[in-house]
Structure 1
Amino acid sequence: MILAIDVGNTRIKSAVIEKNTIIETAFFSYSEFQNSIEKILKKNIEVEVLVVASVGKLEKTAFEIFSDRVKIYYIDRKKPFPFSNQYATPDTLGIDRAVLASGSVLKYPNQNRLVIDVGTCVTYDFIDDQDVYYGGAISPGLRLRYESMHHFTAKLPLLQPQEPTAVIGNSTQESMHSGVVNGLTFEIDGYIEALKAQKENFIIILTGGDANFLAKRLKNTIFANSNFLLESLGNLYQYQINND
Structure 2
Amino acid sequence: MVLTIDIGNTRIKGAVFEKNTVLEFFVFDKKDLEKKIEKILEKFEKVTDLVVASVGNVGKEAFLNFNNDVKVCFLSNEDHFPFKNNYATPKTLGIDRMVLASGATLQYPNQNRLVVDAGTCITYDFVDENDNYLGGAISPGLRLRYEALHNYTAKLPLLMFEEPKSYIGNSTPESMHSGVVNGFVYEIDGFIDQYRAHYSNFIIILTGGDALFLAKRLKNTIFANSNFLLESLNQTFQYKINND
TM bin, normalised by shorter chain, reads: over 0.9
Equivalent in the alignment of 1:223: 223
Letter in 1 for 2:115: V
1:174-233 deviation per Cα after TM superposition (whole angstroms, max 9, x unaligned): 111111110010000011111222222310000001100111000000000000000000
Gaps of 5+ in 2: none
- Does structure 1 residue 65 correspond to structure 2 residue 91? no
Q: Segments of 4+ in structure 1 off by > 6 A?
A: none
**TM-score, scaled to structure 2:** 0.97
Range 133-142 or range 191-200, more displaced: 191-200
1:8-31 deviation per Cα after TM superposition (whole angstroms, max 9, x unaligned): 111111111112111111111111
RMSD over aligned Cα, in angstroms? 1.0
* CA distance in structure 2 between the partners assigned to 1:47 and 1:237 by the alignment: 14
Contact 2:77 2:93 in 1 (8 A): no
* CA distance in structure 2 between the partners assigned to 1:156 and 1:27 by the alignment: 32
Letter in 2 for 1:153: T
* CA distance in structure 2 between the partners assigned to 1:4 and 1:211 by the alignment: 20
- The CA deviation at 1:147 is 1.2
* CA distance in structure 2 between the partners assigned to 1:233 and 1:58 by the alignment: 17
1:41-98 deviation per Cα after TM superposition (whole angstroms, max 9, x unaligned): 1111111111000111001110111111111011112211000011111111110000
Letter in 2 for 1:137: A
* CA distance in structure 1 between the partners assigned to 2:59 and 2:226 by the alignment: 25
Range 153-162 or range 214-223, more displaced: 153-162
Equivalent in the alignment of 2:110: 110
Letter in 1 for 2:242: N
SS at match of 1:197: helix
- The CA deviation at 1:156 is 1.9
- The CA deviation at 1:140 is 0.3
1:138-196 deviation per Cα after TM superposition (whole angstroms, max 9, x unaligned): 00001111111122222222222221111011122211111111001000001111122
Map of 1:193-208 to 2, 5 A cutoff? 193-208=193-208
Equivalent in the alignment of 1:88: 88
Gaps of 5+ in 1: none
SS at match of 2:6: strand
Task: Give aligned pairs, total.
Answer: 244
